[in-house]
Structure 1
Amino acid sequence: MWDAIVNAMVKLFNGLHQFIVGLGVPAEREGLSYILAILIFTVIIRLLILPLNIKSTKSNARMQEIQPEMKKLQAKYKNDPQKLQLETSKLMKENNVSMFGGCLPTLLPLPILFALYRVFYSITPTPGADLSFLWINNVFAPSGFNMTGIILAILAALSTYIPSLLLSKSMPSPEEGGMNMSTMNIMMSGMMGFMSINFQPILVFYWIAGGVIQLIQTYFLNYLPAMKKQKAKEAAALASKPNKTTITTKKKKK
């Protein structure tokens, strides 16, 4: 099954590369043509998982809405974990909330990353072709602990951390003792930065491009709606407060 997936991805990527070359990119500039192919490949993958991102956003929004009910259940069945689990599952099912639906779009790019790791090692560039891109001498040769590798590692870490940071800002602040999302974001970003040192640069470009696309999606699907909702709440709270000028005027009349 895994080999079939890798073979399908090899065919897709090679087809995209031939398409790029057919558009007029010089055949000997394989570094540039392969990078353009991986960028298009990343866009295709992200478009395919976009419905999952939208579903995840809706699921997370419903999860936030039922938080008061979940807290009531936790207080009511604090001494009966089995009953608490049963009632929580029932509440989530009634509100069409999935426990894992919010995590799937975040985790899905990882197996694709490892599949691409095999894909790129199975590709044989044309002997003597120019495999450079920007400051990178060879997009298929792992950079290691040098300036090229360090720059790619920093970009990989930032492209992981910034979308996660934006997502955490669009969610309610966790209560004391809850999960520390900031620590998890830093750990995940550091892990990706460290792993990228041993990855081929073209594979790191896939991850960076995916991070940029994820950042855009997070802004429009999560952050922007959350900020609009927050402003609406603040406006409603402000409108419900008594007007000090009106109160003062009434007191003077008395």
Structure 2
Amino acid sequence: MLEPLNQLFISVFHIIKSFLDQFVADPGNQWGFTIILFTVLINFLMFPLNYKQIKSMKKTQAIQPEVKKLQEKYKNDPQKVQEMTMKLYKDNNVSMFGGCLPLLITYPIFIAMFSVFRKLAEDGSITAMKFGPLIPDLGAKGNIVLSVLAVVTMILSTWLSQSKNKAVKDDAMTKQTNMMSYSMSLLFGFFTYTSTAALGLYWVTGNVFRIIQTLILNYVEKE
């Protein structure tokens, strides 16, 4: 099922690398910058969805105090709580699933990239390719530095997307969501450690892109 997607990604990698061949002499740097450019391209294409996710998340966080009031008011009537909560979401033009679509795309792409980099390592394309001081081999597994960076950048990205409103931050649902996000960070750190360094570079670059994106959007919204 993912094979056509894998072949598409590999073709795009080779196109980008062919372009970089004209400007970068070292093969390892060619592949490293190819992965970075590919990641930036993917995230640019997903920007509209990511922006929608951030807006939806902020709207959802903003009405959580109201949701809590409804839960307390109708605590003996779960059906009424559900009915009034759905009405609250509708009145505030908030989708209960608005933030899910980017995740439904991001994670399958991550899985596809796992397979893509494994194939590139198996055919020798990225094997023994050094990229910078932190990546002695893009095709090797067990890069602890990239794994730590994967966890830290994902946690930072999650933290920046949170509401700064204390009432919202203390909300039980928000805490549960944040805890799940932090647990996912550890899981992805494990994936990057047990996979090729190329996958770690892809994920860390994507996280850094999303951090910059969130900082810019937060700044724009304050203006």
TM-score by length of 2: 0.83
**How does 1:32-43 map onto structure 2 within 5 Å?**
32-43=29-40
Flag the 1:24–1:183 CA change in 2: closer, same or farther, 3 A: same
Aligned pair 1:167/2:167, yes or no?
Answer: no
Distance 1:95 1:181, change over 3 A: closer
1:9-51 deviation line (CA, Å, top 9, x unaligned)? 2222221122211x3323xx32211111111111111111111
| Bigger radius of gyration | 1
State the distance in 2 between where 1:126 and 1:2 align: 20
The 3-state SS of whatever aligns with 1:24 is coil
- Number of aligned residue pairs: give it: 218
Q: Distance in 2 between matches of 1:53 and 1:170?
A: 19
Letter in 1 for 2:39: T
User: Are 2:9 and 2:116, in contact at CA under 8 Å, matched by a contact in 1?
Assistant: yes
Quick check: 1:80 aligned with 2:77? yes
Q: Which residues of structure 2 form unaligned runs of 5+?
A: none
- Detail structure 1 runs of 4+ shifted over 6 Å in the superposition: none
For 2:129 and 2:30, how far apart are their aligned partners in 1? 9
Q: Secondary structure at the match of 2:194?
A: coil
In the alignment, is the contact (CA less than 8 A) between 2:64 and 2:171 conserved in 1?
Answer: no
After superposition, the C-alpha distances for 1:114-140 in whole angstroms (9 at most, x for unaligned) are 10111122233459x861222333211
3-state secondary structure, aligned to 1:196? helix
Is 32-41 or 9-18 further displaced after alignment? Answer: 9-18
**Hey, what's the Cα distance between the residues in 2 that align with 1:126 and 1:80?**
61
Superposed displacement of residue 77, structure 1: 2.8
Q: Distance in 2 between matches of 1:178 and 1:160?
A: 17
Taking only aligned residues, the RMSD between alpha carbons, in angstroms, comes to 2.7
Task: Return the letter of the residue paired with 1:131.
Answer: M
Task: State which drifts further: 109-118 or 171-180.
Answer: 171-180
| TM-score (structure 1 length as normaliser) | 0.74
Identity of aligned residues (%): 37
Q: State the partner residue of 1:187.
A: 183
Q: What is the CA–CA distance in structure 2 between the aligned matches of 1:66 and 1:204, rounded to whole Å?
A: 36
C-alpha separation in 2, matches of 1:177 and 1:111: 26
1:170–1:17 Cα change, 3 Å = farther
Structure 2 Cα separation of the partners of residues 196 and 157 of structure 1? 9
**Residue 53 (structure 1) shift:** 1.9
CA contact (8 A) 1:30 1:130 kept: no
Aligned to 1:98: 95
Q: Map 1:1-254 onto structure 2 (within 5 A).
A: 1-21=1-21, 23-26=22-25, 29-106=26-103, 108-123=105-120, 124-125=123-124, 131-135=129-133, 136-142=135-141, 144=142, 149-168=143-162, 170=164, 172-175=168-171, 179-180=175-176, 183-222=179-218, 224=219, 228=222
